[in-house]
Structure 1
Amino acid sequence: MNRFDFWQALRTWGLLLAGTALYAFGLQYFILPNLLMEGGVTGVAVLLNYALGWPVSISSLAINLPLFALGWRQLGKGAMLYTFAGTVLLSAFLWIMERLVEGGWLVPFRSEHDFILVVLYAGVTLGIGLGLVFRAGGTTGGVDIIARIVHRMRGWSMGQIILSMDVVVLGISLLFIPKEKVLYTIVSVFIASKVIDFIQEGAYAAKAFTIVCAEPERLARRITLALDRGVTLMPAVGAFSGENKQIVYCVVGRFEIGKLKSLVRQHDRRAFIVISDVHDVLGEGFRDE
């Protein structure tokens, strides 16, 4: 491993560790003590904690492992490496936080009246945590794995799949917690999504990559295989050299920005990359209308 690869790996794992630790802290410090909710698989684990008293760390890992095995078969080990890392690290930090709470080392923040303060800090904390994980090119598993598999098999929008599953989880939570807490949770999720966008270097749901690099056709194939995104090769001419070139153009979702950056740098460290804000995206993998 050369120096560039070493620092790249160190940065990636540092972001994964910091992100999962912060997310676990926010869940134990703000969400659970105030009977709030989360979306996705973590939300299911929180529901099991409220209904049956099961630890969130064990429940989330137990639910995620079968999903990870399915994702490994359907998506390939390359696409699942950092997802597996994020899943295991999150469960590990949740277990550590649970031990700290039980031992009295961490006193959760409980509020009887000022829930706005709770949801603000919960949204910011969870958003920063997930944003760091996504920036490292990882995820915390769960719904993201299901969304990617369904998208590949059916072509449905990943964003719509994730949103639909979050709505189902929040709907089921009405059976166990007051509806006011569910409404507060929606505010927290909204704040977290905006913070994730900010951490991911933009306020929009997608980014356009324009890349000038060596062996563009090879890079296009790698992007297609690793991210399951369409890639366009556009002919161009270098103004100074007069050489004919091909420019790689690709639009990706916010969760894939870090992955694509890393992929391009691995392919060609001297690649010239322009990342543009995308205000709206219609088409396969995004919105249909």
Structure 2
Amino acid sequence: MTKEGKKIIFNVIKIMIGCFVFAVAVNMFALPNKLGEGGVTGITMILYYTHNISPAVTNILFNAVILVIGWKLLDKQTILYTILAVGILSVFLKFTEGLQFVADEGIVAAIAAGGLMGLGMGFIMKGEGTTAGSMILAKIMNKFLGWKVSYALLFFDIIVVITSLSVIGIEKFLLTIVSLMISTKVLDFILEGSNPKKTVMIVSDHYEEIALAIDQKISRGITLLNGVGYYKREPKKILYVVISRDQLMAIQNLINDIDPLAFVTISDAQSVIGEGFTREMFIDTEETGDSY
């Protein structure tokens, strides 16, 4: 089997797992406890509460419209995987309709629903698909405005949740907000990992000492860049390093010990691909201490 064929199989498996987990979250935890949700899922839940219409049906109907929009703005592969995800999700929503867990404490249901929804969406997006609805809108915001997918998704979801306030009441509304926050954090964890990377740029006259210390004490590779100060037009050496979050304090202390006047910028790296860093789920790489 070709590499592309294996990739497609892995993506389909991830999408199927994600759809099943998401369907369980909706039918087992969200609906029995009358929680809300964002996006199309939230609208289907409102219709279930008010007219007893199965989310398995309304999920396809509403998403069909949004898929037309997505077809114009997103790459065709993502849309094809999304069509697959919407179909599979509707099947699992129907298949899991009998599962119900009514929690004695609403917060338990909110945590369970939020955690499983975030996990399900994470697997679907790892499979290069979406659950359509606000997920497609979030993908569009990510592509054209650079928003993080998880936060764009939260933005659109909160808009829908606010409209459900009159149906689910203030207590369930607040629990739904908790559920959305949890799903956002879980989705972040799935997409970016438990230890997101940081990029550090250092401008210092003591760059050689700092680079040597980083190499010896933190064991991270360094890229040396050439720069020019705008005001005095003096040449500058810039150190560029990619580190793990737990190495941040160590590198800050190291730089401060050598050159307290060094100019340092620290930024989040949403994704780092290359030797020395994890490439993708299902692919193992070995830490080598090199960065590029």
Indicate whether the TM-score tops 0.5.
yes
1:40 — aligned with what? 39
Query: For the residues of structure 1 that align with 2:142 and 2:191, how far apart are their CA atoms?
Result: 22
Tell me the equivalent position of 1:115: 106
Is contact 1:123-1:188 (8 Å) kept? yes
Match of 1:178 in 2: 169
Residue 19 of structure 2 corresponds to which residue in structure 1? Answer: 20
Asked if the contact 1:24/1:97 (under 8 Å) is kept, the reply is: yes
Instruction: State the Cα deviation string for residues 109-161 of structure 1 (Å, max 9, x = none).
Output: 012x41122222222222221111111111101112234446667x4846565
SS at match of 2:18: helix
* Alignment TM-score, normalising by the size of structure 2: 0.63
AA at the equivalent of 1:129: G
With a CA cutoff of 8 Å and minimum separation of 6, indicate the structure with the bigger relative contact order: 1
2:115 and 2:35 map into 1 onto residues whose CA distance is 15
Structure 1: 4+ residue segments shifted above 3 A:
147-153, 155-164, 203-208, 251-254
Give secondary structure in 1 for the equivalent of 2:96. helix
* CA-based RMSD: 3.4
Give the 3 Å change call, closer, same or farther, for CA 253–137 of structure 1 in structure 2.
farther
Superposed displacement of residue 187, structure 1: 1.1
Change (3 A) 1:202 1:124: same
Greater shift, 197-206 or 166-175, is seen at 197-206
Residue type of the alignment partner of 1:109: F
- In structure 2, the residue matched to 1:217 is none
The letter of the residue matching 2:179 is S
1:188-234 deviation line (CA, Å, top 9, x unaligned): 111222222222242589999xxxxxxxxxxxxxxxxxxxxxxxxx9
TM-score, normalising length from structure 1? 0.63
CA 139–206 in structure 1, closer or farther in 2 if over 3 Å, else same: farther
Within 1, Cα distance between the matches of 2:162 and 2:191?
29
Q: 1:191 is matched with which residue?
A: 182
Residues 69-109 of structure 1: CA deviation (Å, up to 9, x unaligned):
221133342331212221221112112122xx1xxxx3x10
The 3-state SS of whatever aligns with 1:38 is coil
Task: Evaluate the alpha carbon distance shift between residue 205 and residue 87 of structure 1 in structure 2; reply closer, same or farther with a 3 A threshold.
Answer: farther
Q: Which runs of 5+ in 2 are unaligned?
A: 200-222, 226-267, 272-278, 284-288
Aligned pair partner of 1:202 in 184, 193, 197:
193
Higher Cα radius of gyration = 2
* Contact 1:17-1:89 at 8 Å conserved across structures: yes
Q: What is the distance in 1 between the residues matched to 2:137 and 2:164?
A: 20
Query: Aligned residues, how many?
Result: 215
Q: Percent identity?
A: 32
Change over 3 Å in CA distance of 1:167–1:201 after alignment to 2: closer
CA spacing shift, 1:156–1:47, aligned 2, 3 Å: farther
**Measured at CA, do residues 50 and 198 of structure 1 come closer, stay the same or move farther in structure 2, by a change above 3 Å?**
same
Q: 1:164 to 1:121 in 2, by over 3 A?
A: closer
